[in-house]
Each structure stands twice: as C-alpha cells, then as structure tokens.
C-alpha cells in the first residue's frame, strides 16, 4: 500500500509511531499529484506564494513545491501533527494565492488565515494545496473554474460534481489525505456522492465562516471531505466551535465526535421523505439508496415515512436567496484593492471592464439574477417571499425531526454526468442539487456517504440529515453503515 492511499486516521497512526514518516507521506502524496493530477486537475496550486515570507516552520521542505508542516507549532502534540490537508480555493490561506477559481482574484494572496486554517495549523496539520472548484462555488460540476474543469477520478470523461469538485476528486484519487470544502447548496455532498467519498456539511454556525470567501452568507458552511466517516469526525473535532470573529457561529458546546463512532443503530429512527422518491430520480440511484435503507433495517433501525411538503420550492427559493447574497458579496471584486484590474481610462470603465473580463458566465448570471431580485419593486415579490418560504422549509424539518432522528435519501438525483453535458443547461444543472439545497436553507447538518455504484461503475451517495447540532447522530448512523458495507474501500484505478 502506498502512503498516499492512507486515511487520515491511518496517517495519524503512522506519524504517531514514527514522526519521521511525515516526510515520506508528503513525498508519496506529491509524487502521486505529479503523476496523476495532470489528468484530474484537482489542484489549482500547491505552492505558497514566493513573494511572502514562509510561515513559521514552513519552507524547510525537501520537496520544493510542497510546504512543510508547522514543526514548531505543536511538536507531535497536535492531533493532526504532520498531516497534509488540502483546502478548497475559496478559503483564505496566508501566503497562498486564493482565487475562488476566478480570473478576477488572480494574484490575490491573503494576509490572513481563515479560522479553520488556523485551527488546522494549531492542531499540527499543514496546507498541502489549494483545490479547484466552480468559480466562486457557482456550479455543480467543477466546470466553471477559470482554470478549466476537474475530472472525475472514476472516469475522466465525467464531472466530479461541484462546487468542491477539486477537493472531492483529490480525496477520491489519492491526491489528498483529506480536504476541506464549502457547501452552500450541496457543494460538499454532491461531489462527495459523485466521487465516492464522505462529505459533511455541518449545521449552519457549527464551523466558523471567517476566511471563507462568501457566496451565500446565510447558507455557506465549511466541512470535511474524507475517505471515511471516522476521518470526517476527526476533522470536525478540529474545525467545530464558536469563533468570536464570526457573529453567525454558534456558541454551542462541541462534543467529541469520535464517541459517536462504532455504535449500533438499534432503535434509531430513520425517516424517508415521500417527496424524495419521485419522478426525476435515477432508478440506479433509487435502487442503491433503497438497499442502504434495507441495511439500516437489518442493523436494527426503524424506518418510517416522513413528509417535507415544501421541498418542491427549495431550488426556487435557493436561487433567490443565494444569488441575492452572492450579488452583494461579489460587489467587492471591483479591481480597486486586489486581484485583477482591467486596463481602463476612467473609474466607470475600470468597474465595467474589470468585472466583465474578470467574471465567468455563471458568475455573471448569478450576479444579474441577484441584483434583479433585490431591486426596488421586486424585493418583496422575490427576496422577502423567498425568506418566508425558507421558514416553511425549516418548519418541515422541525416537524419531521419530531418523529425521526435521521432523514435518509439520495444525495444527488443521478450518478455523475459527463463533462459538458449540462454546462449550457443551467436549469438542469441547478436540479442536480435538488436533494441537498433544503439542508442549507434549513441550516441542518447533512452528510453524503458512499452507498453503491452505477452500471457504469460511477459512485452513488446517500444523504443523511439530522437536527441542528446533532452531527453526532450522523456519525453514529454513517459509521454503522460503513462498518456493514465496503463501498468506501473501493478506489479508482488511475
């Protein structure tokens, strides 16, 4: 077994036994990236910016293009000591160019670390590289990146999902031990499903957003993409918690998520929303998810039907609320302070040309939509109404969770689709997130876990959803399922 194949847990154990192994791990991983990433294109870069002084402990690497761990920080003590973590390129990292896969941010090297990055470093981990994504996280296929698409490690003709497609593909392809993604409407879970890895979107407020370049501020959450459920729990233990720099982060105690692993699911009540299993759901996905339901039943869980009556409005509401916030959040990319600035004769031209040349089509589409729904005369009809329906969607979950502990369903309506298949059909692309979006609107935690493969040998994931701040319940259910199956052990041959 190659070291790059290790799970986070295994890598931890390896380094705990022999700290010198961390450079072997780094070497193995970087060789893998050099060999395979030209095909996958999971990374935007894995080199800190040369113009900035190396961070403490960094720059001592024997391999030139990879940073070394923060050796001085946490000598062996940190629970992630010596572990390389890959970071989605919309999370700011001191000294690393951070672009959101957009031309408009090219050259932007943040002078500060996101809270999650700071926490990872404090735990002894180091940044391995920055992962490709849909531009500003606008997309479900990782094709809108200004650097070009990322390819699915299971079949290079297929998309890895998005927007955290680079993070998911890196983990699935053995190009990362674990990665961080962000999820606004499914951007962690849907690529996790497409790449056959575990992806967790925590409760809104569970993980600090400080340093996450905002898309939809009221929906965004950072979360882990990992090879196993256990790895996900290990990472969430590091990431979760109140941050005084983020007013929307919750001051709710963080349990040790590892304590939820390896438990049985006897008596666990699992809800199947009747609205989930309808027309539009791919039969292969439906079959895989139903088989998973059977496994849970075999393990002693009780399965009941629930209803999420307002789910049918979720995609519509999402494309009002998320784009409204996005249009405002992206205003700051104007060429004044940082990133790309177009040649121009005057201020107006600078704005127009910088944004015209700097943003891709999907970003422009969403900025236009968002600007429209917030405009005088339309605000009440769209944004305000959207907020009301959002409340109803949240109430649906509240009602359902009175009856069940976990809601189970497909993560995406289909297995991975082909590159370019939906790129010019935004509506069908948007529907790719139909099962994931409502968790963001309601703020509840949800996780995608591998649950099978399609006839084309492409991964299928199921989604588990729990009450706010009950990520522990997700870990309990997912780890029991994982123990009873071996989907997570399968790796693509590259």
* Chain residues that interact with another protein, rule: CB under 8 A: 91-92, 98, 100, 105, 108, 110-112, 114, 209-214, 216-218, 244-248, 324-325, 327-328, 331-334, 336-338, 347, 351, 371, 374-376, 379, 383
Select from 486, 479, 487, 477 the least CA-distant residue to 301: 477
CB burial class (10 A; 0-12, 13-18, 19+) of residue 423? middle
Which H or E element spans position 271?
A: strand 269-273
Min dist CB 408 to another protein, Å, is 30
CB count, 10 Å around CB of 458?
Answer: 22
- Which residue's CB is nearer to another protein, number 304 or number 347? 347
Place of tokens 């979760």: 240
Min dist CB 188 to another protein, Å, is 18
- Which residue's CB is nearer to another protein, number 297 or number 375? 375
395: phi then psi, degrees, rounded to nearest 5? -65, -35
Min dist CB 362 to another protein, Å, is 18
d(CA 178, CA 170): 8
d(CA 167, CA 65): 19
Query: If DSSP states are collapsed to H, E and C, what string results for 97-156?
Result: CCCCCCHHHCCCCCCCCCHHHHHHHHCCCEEEEEECCCHHHCCCCCCCCCCCCCCECCEC
CA 6 to chain centre: 20
d(CA 133, CA 150): 8
- Which residue's CB is nearer to another protein, number 7 or number 438? 438
Min dist CB 94 to another protein, Å, is 11
- Which residue's CB is nearer to another protein, number 91 or number 159? 91
Is the separation of the CB atoms in 457 and 153 below 8 Å? no
Min dist CB 340 to another protein, Å, is 13
Min dist CB 114 to another protein, Å, is 6
Q: Name the residues annotated as catalytic.
A: 88, 163, 187
- Which residue's CB is nearer to another protein, number 237 or number 248? 248
- Which residue's CB is nearer to another protein, number 174 or number 370? 370
Select from 256, 234, 252 the least CA-distant residue to 243: 252
């Amino acid at each position: 077994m190659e070291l790059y194949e290790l799970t986070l847990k295994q890598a931890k154990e390896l380094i705990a036994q022999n700290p010198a192994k961390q450079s072997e791990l780094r070497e193995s991983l970087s060789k893998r990236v050099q060999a395979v990433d030209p095909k996958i294109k999971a990374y935007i870069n894995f080199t800190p910016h040369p113009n900035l002084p190396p961070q403490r402990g960094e720059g001592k690497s024997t391999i030139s293009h990879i940073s070394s761990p923060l050796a001085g920080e946490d000598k062996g003590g940190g629970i992630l000591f010596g572990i390389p973590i890959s970071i989605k390129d919309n999370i700011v990292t001191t000294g690393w160019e951070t672009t959101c896969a957009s031309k408009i941010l090219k050259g932007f090297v943040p002078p500060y670390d996101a809270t999650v990055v700071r926490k990872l470093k404090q735990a002894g981990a180091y940044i391995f590289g920055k992962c490709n994504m849909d531009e500003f996280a606008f997309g479900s296929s990782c094709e809108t990146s200004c650097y070009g698409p990322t390819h699915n490690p299971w079949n290079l003709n297929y998309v890895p999902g998005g927007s955290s497609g680079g993070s998911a593909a890196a983990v699935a392809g053995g190009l990362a031990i674990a990665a961080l993604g962000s999820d606004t409407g499914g951007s962690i879970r849907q690529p996790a499903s497409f790449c056959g890895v575990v992806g967790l979107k925590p409760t809104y407020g569970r993980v600090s957003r400080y340093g996450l370049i905002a898309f939809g501020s009221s929906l965004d959450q950072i979360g882990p993409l990992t090879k196993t459920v256990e790895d996900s729990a290990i990472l969430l233990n590091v990431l979760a918690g109140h941050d005084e720099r983020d007013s929307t982060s919750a001051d709710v105690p963080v349990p040790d998520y590892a304590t939820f692993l390896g438990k049985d699911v006897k008596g666990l009540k699992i809800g199947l929303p009747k609205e989930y299993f309808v027309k539009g759901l791919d039969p292969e996905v439906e079959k895989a998810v139903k088989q998973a339901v059977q496994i849970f039943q075999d393990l002693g869980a009780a399965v009941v039907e629930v209803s999420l009556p307002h789910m049918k409005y979720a995609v519509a509401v999402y494309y009002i609320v998320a784009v409204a916030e996005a249009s405002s959040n992206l205003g700051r990319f104007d060429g004044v302070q940082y990133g790309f600035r177009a040649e121009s004769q005057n201020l107006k031209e600078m704005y127009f040309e910088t944004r015209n040349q700097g943003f891709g089509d999907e970003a422009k589409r969403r900025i236009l939509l968002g600007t429209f729904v917030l405009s005088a005369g339309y605000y009440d009809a769209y944004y305000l109404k959207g907020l009301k329906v959002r409340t109803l969607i949240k109430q649906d979950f509240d009602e359902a969770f009175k009856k069940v502990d976990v809601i189970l369903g497909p993560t995406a309506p289909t297995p991975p689709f082909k590159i370019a298949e939906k790129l010019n059909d935004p509506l069908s692309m948007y529907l790719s997130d139909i099962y994931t979006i409502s968790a963001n609107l309601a703020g509840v935690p949800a996780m995608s876990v591998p649950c099978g493969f399609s006839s084309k040998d492409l991964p299928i994931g199921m989604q588990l959803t729990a009450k706010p701040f009950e990520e522990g319940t997700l870990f309990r259910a997912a780890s029991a399922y994982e123990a009873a199956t071996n989907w997570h052990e399968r790796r693509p041959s590259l």
